[in-house]
Structure 1
């Protein structure tokens, strides 16, 4: 089928390349000429595993091209709209400027029978309003939310865990449903659930999913706060409750919390929309979810301060990570950078390293020092804090080797992703999030055995 994708940011570029990879003829449209030039040359404008390969293949095959001219979308059977919906500058609500502008620019190029498929995350009620705009052209609007995980976006587009389509009632909706089934034929052939519903439900599916995940993360971080006050170990707590099939272990990793371009702004926009609907009390808990999340960043910075005897002024602190999550170069609302900036503001000499996100981080926070090489970044550090759980840090960094590079063997594990016993055995003072300083007698024994002096002060 011939498809157009309006908006070639993170969502749109991945969707366009993925649709071409399963055999469709795709044109991506964006007003950013530099971005389009990069994509048309086969260069991914951001890091996402697998994107570069399918982008190059799509361009080479002729099934994929990019343009700044909306007229190039004419003739497509389905037009996907995947532009951003950022948080408004003066409030929590979603800014729909780009969604409205994209649909307005597309309307002159629509034909009767075309499908306009919204993929952006929008407040409930948006699709109904846009459908009225599209109706005079004879095209049909559907809402087809995305459920991409950064770092796995290509896989999630080609082989999703579910597909959702909000369609109008009647023949137009039935026709649109049939066309979407053709678009996603490879996933449907694998028995991927295809849920057909109304506009409002389709819009709510996305924000409800994000709100639930954010709530689960903040719940375990709230438990981490309790654990820190009682001497409990939040990681063991999460393991224990995670064995309950009704709860599950995923998203119960306590640490410095969530970030990125989706969860924070989506839960805020959901709260704002609920207020507009007169149902603010229904999701009032999301404000607490947000507050808990932000508190964990402050707590991580405080752990570094406490570990350095109450002041980081003039101390060298190495921050391992800048992206909001591994396998991405996305720094939007990054907890990692938030912690780095907090420490810098307290007078620390902060050095940040990350496998992919340094260039993006430097553009936003040039006041920090950035080093690409991990070992070079560790050299001379008085304290180290892990804030993005790249394998480069949690699995591939040998604590004994790291100890030879630093001035002070203090490590703060902002993601609870390191092995405390291994780090203590190598002589490090380990601090986790919601974990006791020494979580088990066996850990103490191993740490003492591995300590050059056996001095218990090293283990505090």
Structure 2
């Protein structure tokens, strides 16, 4: 099939490359000329595992091309995926839909009769209905609109596109459903289930899913606070609770909290839209979920201050991690970078390392120091903070770091390092939710979190959502 992808941020670039990978002829469209040129040359403008290989194959085969012209997109074919950003509004909690509206308005004059626009961006319920009326007013009465929400995790986006756990088709006609079934035919044949429903339900599925995930993360972080007060171990608690199949272990990883361009703004947009619909009290609990998540940042700074002797001025702090989650260079609403910036404001000398996100972090927070290697970040440190759960950090040898630091003190804000390994090496180990618990974990307690644990905005967040923020988690 011939299809276009409007918007080539995280969501759009991955979707375009994956659609070309399964055999479609794809034209990616973006107003950013530099980004479009990079993609057309086969270069990814951001880090996402597996994407470079797909992009190289797609552009080399000719199945994947890029342009800045919506006119060219309209002439290319009759199927258009809408993948533009829906960041939080600068003046409130709701989603900023200017980019969605602009994409539809720009595409409308160039649509062929019977064209189908398929939204993938995360939007408030009712957006598809509103955009349909907008298409009619723009002189495209024969165009159709459907919603096919994405459920991508940054760092796993390629796999989540090619082997998703489900597909959701929100359509107003059997014709549109059949088109989407044809687009995803290779995936459906491989056993991926799909749910066909109306557009409003499809829009709500994404909001509901992200709200539930955020709730699980903030719940276990609330339990971590209780554990610290009671002298319990939140990692063992999560392990035991996770055996209950009704609850499950995934996303029960206490720590610094979630961030990125997805969960924070989506739960806020959901609250705003529910209030507009007159059912705000139904999702009022999301405000507390948001607050618990932000509180983890404050608790991390407070604990780091205690570990530094009660005073941050002049203390050297090594920060391991800047991206909001591992396997990504995305620093939007990064809890790690927010903590680092707060420590700096309170007088600490902060040096940051990250395997992929240093350039983006430096652009967002130029006031911090940065190191290309972990050992350089740790030189002379009074406290080492583990803030993003990269596998590289889990593999660190504390004995090798001991001679480099001023004081062997570690704050594991992701609860994924082995406390026994670090304490045996002479380090003081601390972690949220384990402050009063024995350092030695139970032998059957996993030392690492599950791989799908994400890592949100805060008064301390150093980075605002970008205009082309992806709608992925």
Q: TM-score, normalised by structure 2?
A: 0.91
4+ runs deviating over 4 angstroms: 440-443
- Residues 438 and 425 (structure 1 numbering): CA distance in 2 closer, same or farther, change over 3 Å? farther
Structure-1 residue corresponding to 2:134: 133
Shift of 1:295: 0.2
C-alpha RMSD of the superposition: 1.1
Which of 159, 166, 180 is the equivalent residue of 1:162?
166
- Residues 178 and 270 (structure 1 numbering): CA distance in 2 closer, same or farther, change over 3 Å? same
Structure-1 residue corresponding to 2:408: 409
1 CA distance for matches of 2:146 and 2:246? 33
Matched, 1:431 2:435: no
Structure-1 residue corresponding to 2:104: 103
**Contact in 1 for aligned 2:382/2:407 (Cα 8 Å):** yes
For residues 116-127 of structure 1, the aligned pairs below 5 Å read 116-127=117-128
**Contact in 1 for aligned 2:31/2:68 (Cα 8 Å):** yes
Structure-2 residue corresponding to 1:186: 186
Q: Which has the larger radius of gyration?
A: 1
Name the SS for the 2:76 alignment partner: coil
Q: TM-score, normalised by structure 1?
A: 0.94
Name the SS for the 1:11 alignment partner: helix
Count of residue pairs brought into register by the alignment: 438
1 CA distance for matches of 2:212 and 2:314? 41
Structure-1 residue corresponding to 2:114: 113
2 CA distance for matches of 1:375 and 1:24? 46
Structure-2 residue corresponding to 1:449: none
Shift of 1:131: 1.4
Structure-1 residue corresponding to 2:80: 79
**Contact in 2 for aligned 1:353/1:373 (Cα 8 Å):** yes
1 CA distance for matches of 2:260 and 2:439? 34
**Contact in 1 for aligned 2:231/2:437 (Cα 8 Å):** no
Shift of 1:304: 0.9
1 CA distance for matches of 2:382 and 2:355? 22
1 CA distance for matches of 2:415 and 2:245? 23
For residues 267-282 of structure 1, the aligned pairs below 5 Å read 267-282=267-282
Q: Deviations over 1:185-226 (max 9, x none)?
A: 111011211111011100000010000000000000000110
Shift of 1:442: 7.9
For residues 35-74 of structure 1, the aligned pairs below 5 Å read 35-73=35-73, 74=75
Shift of 1:440: 5.7
- The runs of 5 or more residues in structure 2 that have no matched partner are 443-473
Structure-1 residue corresponding to 2:421: 422
Q: Which has the higher contact order (CA 8 A, sep 6+)?
A: 2
- Residues 442 and 301 (structure 1 numbering): CA distance in 2 closer, same or farther, change over 3 Å? closer
